[in-house]
A and B are shown apart, each in its own frame.
Chain A
Amino acid sequence: MKLRNWIVAAAAAVVAMPLAVSSASAYELTVPSMDYRTGPYAPNGIPFANGWTDYWTMLNERDGGINGVKIKVVPCETAYNTKQGVECYEKTKKAGSGALVYQPLSTGITYQLIPKASVDNIPIHSMGYGRTSAANGKIFKWVFNFPATYWSQASALVKYIGEKEGGMDKLKGKKIFLVYHNSAYGKEPIRTLQELAKKHGFTYQGLAVDHPGQEQKATWLKIRRDKPDWILMWGWGVMNQVAIKEAASIRFPMDRFIGVWWSGSENDVKPAGAAAKGYLSGAFHQPGSNFPVHKDIIKYLYDAGKAPHPDFKDRVGEVLYNRGLVAAMWGSEAARKAMEIHKTKELTGAMMRDGYEALDVDEARLKELGAEGLTIPVKITCENHEGPRKVAVQQWDGKQWKIVSDFYDPDMDVIQPLIDEDSQKFAKENNITPRDCK
């Protein structure tokens, strides 16, 4: 009888051992990729998704993942549609070993995911987009929007305009128009620009353009009649291309036309050809592929036949590709930090959040990552989920984008009260007690 028990136990152990081993080794760092490779916004969605996917894949191929743990990228097509985006979230949140972070690349989707991710304990990194007041980490524990929000960007762009006009006092009496995508995204900077207009005495007017923005003639007729001194644009997809062509058509000076950083990619200026020369946009990273990290991507993915989208090789280094890459790079650093904090390689969304909140990628670390000069150093704290708040201006020279200004700090005297007001309103509506970050 005893012998039989021993045999059964040994057999069970033999059967269970490989299962246990395989379940331990089956853990993968799971990163959903909220792509939009179809629909009217695909030309913008594709390069970002490729940059995001390529960086994670390169870590697998070059380093065997992060600290030896493989990364699994789970793509899901949102088509830049909020409903589809929410479906993607629900579909992928338990994929693999559980989603670690979401990068929705859509302000509309981000707004919908904020309450969901807080319940599911998965961080959202709405990098330079999404709900601006999520910068307040005391209230938005699960959302990060570094390296700068739309409000910071609007303020930085107004500073750039002030500098070009010869000082902020020279803004008095000037007319600054905002041409914006008629969506949650496009409306984000309005409040900031209204406040800045009051402070500096310029005239602000908003002109909305409906999705997708294929036809904007009347908007540009109004601009031609009212002759603003500067135009800011919060556009996306075809809206950008049509707006730049229309601006060129009415002979609006391109060096007085500044897009948000989502309106400043190669796709946006290409259809206008030479007429787009001089057009400006916000930026928080360099374009181009002359960085060691790009060389590794080419070597370990494209030249090795491991690239998920091999036909993209010639476009590695485009503005939106680099943006996806930078997002993934910061995400991978957050994962490393989370492993360090929690002393485990099997991360959960909650651990990943801690990694994001302790993120500190300085110049030295950027150099180690092969991204020296590619983007700005980032340090996140419990209170400040927006991080460095630095925005530069880049210009299209007819062939490529080049950063043409310093990095500006936003006017926090104007923005901080707006962030506090909006985040506190959110906290009140959702019964959130602000965290004590001491």
Chain B
Amino acid sequence: MLFFMETVISGLLAGVMYSLVALGFVLIFKASGVFNFAQGVMALFAALTLVGLLSGTTPFTHIDNPAFAMPAWVAIPLTIVVMIVFAILVERFILRHLVNQEQIILFMSMVGLAYVLEGAGDILWGSDVKVIDLGLPQGAWDWLLDGYGLYIEKIELVAAGTAVVLVAFLAVFFQKTRIGRALRAVADDHQAALSVGISLRSIWIIVWSVAGVVALVTGVVWGAKSGIQFSLSLIALKALPVLILGGFESIPGAIVGGLIIGVGEKLAEVYGGEIIVAIFGRWYEIDPGIFSATENWFAYVLALVFLLFRPQGLFGEKIIERV
């Protein structure tokens, strides 16, 4: 029972990590209707920039110079500034030119952006594995493990705490601030928002900047688990089933979707093989390991099953179009 609990808790915490990635997608999709395929690469780029500044790496040469190493309180705001500049560039060179274009064109532009940003990260900071040193706790939570035999990783608890703070911040930002209200207006109806004098361009810059901050948090938390390296860009693939499940426009959907996917895939990976052996084992000799490596595809199966019943996702808006 304790192990089952451990698996569920690990799944929930992993789910929070997926939600962090999905959050960036939702923000941009809500405000601009763009499916930001580059969100994973943004997480990578932000984390690379932060590590580069922390270690004093000279861009392009990739040589660490401790004399230029910045403390975290300088490096983090500076990285946020870089992500804001990135948001301005995206608006100036991509979004501005694609207003009223087909969804597929917007999507393809984001695919292109992902490649450009990944290449830029490579050229600026190099392809090596980088260790991020922000003092984030590592390893198991000793008190729980030694006292109760329950294994929970500290970094995942930090991720969960960060996600709570981030969602609270975003909720206040969207509900209580003037800019937040403008963002919601744009999300509801571009034309109506324009008619009351809301600048679409400013809103896009703001929302991409916020998504950049979310990307930074995501990159740091995931990077703390594996080191900052280019495989981080693939975490975007973890967000897709979460978005299908939770809905592309819902922040609570991203959180709940992440939790369901996290728990579902952990239970499937840990118990799936045993269930198959229990059912078919009497007729065939089956290696319980046959049902391993499910973590990548099981989430998609789960999302597909949901799609059959709720195509708009758990929290997505049902679109009814008159013919």
Question: Which residues of A pack against B, CB within 8 Å?
Answer: 37-40, 42-43, 46, 182, 205-219, 221-222, 224-225, 237-238, 241-242, 245, 248-251, 267, 270-271, 273, 275, 311
Check A209 against B127 for contact (C-beta < 8 Å).
no
Of the four ranges (under 10, 10 to 19, 20 to 34, 35 or more), the interface on chain B belongs to: 35 or more
Check B229 against A218 for contact (C-beta < 8 Å).
no
Say whether B96 faces chain A, with CB atoms less than 8 Å apart: no
Would A208 and B293 be within 8 Å (CB), given that A43-B127, A242-B225, A311-B61 are in contact?
A: yes
Interface with A: B25-33, B74-82, B231-239, which one? Answer: B231-239
Q: Which residue of B lies closest to A314 (CB)?
A: B63
Would A46 and B226 be within 8 Å (CB), given that A212-B231, A217-B266, A249-B139 are in contact?
A: no
The 5 closest A-B pairs by CB, nearest first: A218-B269, A271-B227, A40-B231, A208-B293, A42-B127
Pick the residue among B131, B139, B230, B289 that contacts A40 (CB under 8 A). Answer: B230
Check A217 against B226 for contact (C-beta < 8 Å).
no
Would A245 and B265 be within 8 Å (CB), given that A221-B10, A224-B151 are in contact?
A: no
B129 / chain A contacts, CB cutoff of 8 Å: 43, 238, 241, 267, 270-271
Say whether B202 faces chain A, with CB atoms less than 8 Å apart: no
Would A38 and B131 be within 8 Å (CB), given that A208-B289, A210-B293, A221-B10 are in contact?
A: no
Check B230 against A39 for contact (C-beta < 8 Å).
yes
Name 24 A/B residue pairs within 8 A (Cβ), A-sorted. A38-B119, A38-B127, A42-B128, A42-B230, A205-B289, A207-B289, A208-B292, A210-B293, A210-B297, A212-B231, A214-B226, A214-B232, A216-B295, A217-B14, A221-B7, A221-B151, A222-B269, A225-B3, A237-B231, A238-B129, A241-B129, A248-B138, A251-B140, A270-B129
- Complex CA gap A241/B231 in Å reads 11
Pick the residue among B3, B63, B131, B293 that contacts A182 (CB under 8 A). Answer: B293
Other A-B pairs beyond A211-B296, A218-B7, A241-B226, 16, CB < 8 Å: A38-B118, A38-B230, A42-B128, A46-B127, A209-B293, A210-B295, A213-B231, A214-B225, A218-B269, A221-B3, A221-B7, A241-B129, A249-B138, A249-B139, A270-B129, A311-B62
Check B139 against A215 for contact (C-beta < 8 Å).
no
Check A205 against B131 for contact (C-beta < 8 Å).
no
A40 / chain B contacts, CB cutoff of 8 Å: 229-231, 233-234
Say whether B287 faces chain A, with CB atoms less than 8 Å apart: yes
Q: Which residue of B lies closest to A218 (CB)?
A: B269
A-contact bits for B133-156, CB 8 A (1 contact / 0 none): 000001110000100000101000
B293 / chain A contacts, CB cutoff of 8 Å: 182, 208-210
B292 / chain A contacts, CB cutoff of 8 Å: 182, 206-209, 219, 222
Check A214 against B10 for contact (C-beta < 8 Å).
no
Check A250 against B140 for contact (C-beta < 8 Å).
yes
Minimum distance in angstroms from A377 CB to a CB of chain B: 33
Q: Which residue of B lies closest to A205 (CB)?
A: B289
Q: Which residue of A lies closest to B132 (CB)?
A: A271
Check A311 against B127 for contact (C-beta < 8 Å).
no
A221 / chain B contacts, CB cutoff of 8 Å: 3, 6-7, 10, 151, 266, 270
Check A249 against B127 for contact (C-beta < 8 Å).
no
Check A249 against B140 for contact (C-beta < 8 Å).
yes
Q: Which residue of A lies closest to B266 (CB)?
A: A218
B316 / chain A contacts, CB cutoff of 8 Å: none
Minimum distance in angstroms from B9 CB to a CB of chain A: 10
List B235-283 residues whose CB lies under 8 Å from chain A: 235, 238, 265-266, 269-270
Say whether B288 faces chain A, with CB atoms less than 8 Å apart: yes
B234 / chain A contacts, CB cutoff of 8 Å: 40, 212, 214
Residue from A207, A216, A249 with most neighbouring chain B CB atoms (10 Å): A249
- Complex CA gap A239/B187 in Å reads 39
B139 / chain A contacts, CB cutoff of 8 Å: 248-249, 275
- Complex CA gap A225/B222 in Å reads 25
Minimum distance in angstroms from A349 CB to a CB of chain B: 31
- Complex CA gap A241/B131 in Å reads 11
B127 / chain A contacts, CB cutoff of 8 Å: 37-38, 42-43, 46
Residue from B225, B226, B234 with most neighbouring chain A CB atoms (10 Å): B226
Check A238 against B140 for contact (C-beta < 8 Å).
no
A215 / chain B contacts, CB cutoff of 8 Å: 14, 238, 295
Check B266 against A206 for contact (C-beta < 8 Å).
no
Pick the residue among B3, B10, B140, B222 that contacts A217 (CB under 8 A). Answer: B10
- Complex CA gap A212/B238 in Å reads 12
- Complex CA gap A174/B7 in Å reads 25
Minimum distance in angstroms from A269 CB to a CB of chain B: 10
Would A206 and B151 be within 8 Å (CB), given that A40-B229, A212-B231, A242-B225 are in contact?
A: no
Q: Which residue of B lies closest to A266 (CB)?
A: B129
Minimum distance in angstroms from A278 CB to a CB of chain B: 15
Check B230 against A273 for contact (C-beta < 8 Å).
no
Q: Which residue of B lies closest to A265 (CB)?
A: B129
A209 / chain B contacts, CB cutoff of 8 Å: 292-293
- Complex CA gap A428/B235 in Å reads 43
A219 / chain B contacts, CB cutoff of 8 Å: 269, 292, 295
Pick the residue among B140, B227, B289 that contacts A206 (CB under 8 A). Answer: B289
Check A275 against B138 for contact (C-beta < 8 Å).
yes
- Complex CA gap A210/B138 in Å reads 24
A238 / chain B contacts, CB cutoff of 8 Å: 129, 226-227, 229, 231
Check A43 against B269 for contact (C-beta < 8 Å).
no
Q: Which residue of B lies closest to A186 (CB)?
A: B293
A206 / chain B contacts, CB cutoff of 8 Å: 287, 289, 292
- Complex CA gap A211/B231 in Å reads 10
- Complex CA gap A31/B72 in Å reads 45
- Complex CA gap A146/B174 in Å reads 62
Check B265 against A214 for contact (C-beta < 8 Å).
no
- Complex CA gap A215/B6 in Å reads 16
- Complex CA gap A197/B61 in Å reads 50
Check B138 against A242 for contact (C-beta < 8 Å).
no
Minimum distance in angstroms from B128 CB to a CB of chain A: 5
List B111-128 residues whose CB lies under 8 Å from chain A: 118-119, 122, 127-128
Minimum distance in angstroms from B271 CB to a CB of chain A: 9
A212 / chain B contacts, CB cutoff of 8 Å: 231, 234
Minimum distance in angstroms from A193 CB to a CB of chain B: 11
Minimum distance in angstroms from A34 CB to a CB of chain B: 16
